[in-house]
Amino acid sequence: MAQAFPYTFYSCPCVDTSTPSARVRDKRSSQYSTHTKEEEDRTFDPRKSRSNFSLYPLEHLLYCEDCHQIRCPRCVSEEVITWFCPSCLFEVPSSNIRSDGNRCMRSCYNCPVCTAPMVVNSLDSENEKHVRLGEDGEAVQPPGPFYLSCPYCQWSTLEIGVEFEKPNNISGQLARLANGGKTVPTLREREKARDKRKEAEELGKRPDEEEDEGVPDEDLPMDHDIRFSNLSAFYKSQLQTDTMGGDYGYGSSSTLSRIMSMYSGSGAKKSKKDRPSAMREAFGSDEGFQVHNRSSEDEVIKRMRQLGWEGTVSPEQRQSQIQSDVRFAADLRPVPTLLRTKRAKRCRTCRHILARPETKISSSRYKIKLLALNNIPQISLKALPRQAETSVPGITAPVPFDYNKLQPFMANHFILTIRNPLFDPIHVTLATPAVTPGRIQSKVTVLCPEFEVGANTDVWDEALTGPGATQKKSQAPSSTELGASNPATQAEAGKVWERGRNWTSVVLEVVADKADPADLEGGLDEDEDVLEIPMFVRIEYETDITDEIREKDREKGKETGGADGRVKREEAFWCVLGAGRIGALPKLG
């Protein structure tokens, strides 16, 4: 495990998906009573493979105020709020995403070689150095042609023979140009040429030579856009025609009326009629069908021998292209910038919003963000400092603690600190198994399992209204303060070690077991000698009743609070404390 010692991970309730949710248990309490009791009695085992997917640092977790539970990335569902381009920060409507795809359709492109953003430059070098000014003193657009260039690797569209007439609307111009500067016909032009060829074939005439130039060669691979356009037109014509099945074509009015009569019941007594014949498949390049031939593969191999290794593309460059069958550097094209999204997160159980960013593209703030760090106590662990005598009598020096070499069969004391982020005092109950789960069984003891933690109030409130404001000099320090300040004092059972404004520290005693590979069948597994302590934390507190709490309790049919205007809350969760790594036994003699 690469995590530095000591560490604390929190377990999300989704560790066991077979456990029914709280709503299901309320409806079927009798059915799941036995199952729930077994779940409560079972100790959380951090070494199970399933547990690795539910342990997170507290900073990575969210909190649901309706369910009063921790929520990890697996427990939330995401909703896309806005789509935007990271280069030009232009917000793209969702309707455009369905029609144009998830790439920027303006002038934002990335380099196909190094993926850096590309810029538009003019071929006129004089205008690049000195900006032309008009009669009014305003900058005048330099004359074309223009090209896209990468400022990082110096790749440009001039290497593939593509130039642009205008510096804007690069997407529209690039769609009309193929590598080498050849003009690509538009969809409407391809449809007109295809209709003319079909009419000529039906009449038995030969198409004109100008129209033959736009017909793709059967031996050469077709462009993806042309192939998709031909296939789409072919299948649309198949669905709209009525000649294949007589009155029962797929798009005929008689077929639609027959389907409606089946659901209305008026056609149930009619005799069953034959099913329409199946649609035929595409045939020929005009219909989007292309036959694989060996001559094209031989041409590719011959070209690879001529260009060599430098003339081919890498797997990363090939995957970044829209057409993934690109093999040569001369076939690379600028890649449109992928759009980014801003997403909101909801709880999968109650659909409550957990995080919602602002819709403004340039803003990185959140309107709503329910962090577990602001609702769940923060638990930290550190070793109890040890003191060693020096050469000077009566003076001791701290001994550094090595977390990577915990001595087996010796008592190691740790300070467990609980910090309260809430504005109400909480009552904390800690529970941990006497022996850690797994083949290496270490003994764990919490000297003070129940204690109080103060509210997260202002620091000045404690200084002005606290008991230490009037009795700071005259009052004698308590036993707990002596235990924290005097290293020679031993920790006592049932007493806290140190207490602050919104935090409390207790002592945790750990007796590590030996981690000898010779005593274990099959030897030590990976990180099996790491001492991980599962701990169950339960907190209780009282908070003021708000209108939101009353409304939620009214929906659930519960009574809200008592006469004093406060309501009791209770939360519980599992966490894992990484105390260190068990070392080897000291050698005798």
- The pLDDT tens digits of the residues spanning 315-335 come to 999 888 888 788 898 889 999
- Please report the pLDDT score of residue 589 as a whole number: 52
Question: Token match 């894992």: residue?
Answer: 576
* Annotated domain spans of the chain: 378-387+394-467+479-581
Poorest-confidence range of 231-235, 245-249, 505-509, 528-532?
245-249
- Report the distance separating Cα 567 and Cα 545, nearest Å: 6
Flag whether pLDDT at 217 surpasses 50. Answer: yes
Contacts of 79 (CB under 8 A, 6+ apart): 343, 344, 345, 346
Cα 109-110-114 angle, rounded to 5 deg: 165
In this predicted model, what pLDDT tens digit does every residue of 525-550 receive, in sequence order? 888 889 999 999 999 999 887 766 66
What is the band of 142 on the pLDDT scale with cuts at 50, 70, 90? confident
Distances, alpha carbon 71 to alpha carbons 49, 310, 345, 350, 570, in Å: 20, 50, 10, 12, 17
- Cα 471 to the center of its chain, rounded Å: 53
- Mean of the pLDDT values across residues 370-377? 94
Kindly tell me the sign of the dihedral angle through the C-alpha atoms of 531, 536, 541, 543: positive
What is the band of 32 on the pLDDT scale with cuts at 50, 70, 90? very low
What is the band of 275 on the pLDDT scale with cuts at 50, 70, 90? low
- Please report the pLDDT score of residue 53 as a whole number: 86
Compute the mean pLDDT over every residue in the chain, rounded to the nearest whole number.
79
In this predicted model, what pLDDT tens digit does every residue of 472-528 receive, in sequence order? 333 434 444 445 545 445 778 888 999 999 999 999 999 998 888 777 887 888 888
Alpha helices (runs of H) in 28-129, residue ranges in sequence order: 29-41, 94-100, 125-129
Question: Token match 């204690």: residue?
Answer: 451
The answer to whether the CB of 560 falls within 8 A of the CB of 567 is yes
Q: How many residues does the chain have?
A: 589
Express as a percent the part of the chain with pLDDT over 90. Answer: 33
- Please report the pLDDT score of residue 471 as a whole number: 42
- Please report the pLDDT score of residue 399 as a whole number: 77
Q: Between these two residues, 455 and 490, which has the higher pLDDT value?
A: 455
- Mean of the pLDDT values across residues 346-359? 93
Burial of 559 (0-12, 13-18, 19+ CB in 10 A): exposed
Contacts of 333 (CB under 8 A, 6+ apart): 112, 160, 162, 174, 179, 321, 322
**What pTM value is reported for the model?**
0.73
- Please report the pLDDT score of residue 475 as a whole number: 40
- Mean of the pLDDT values across residues 57-67? 93
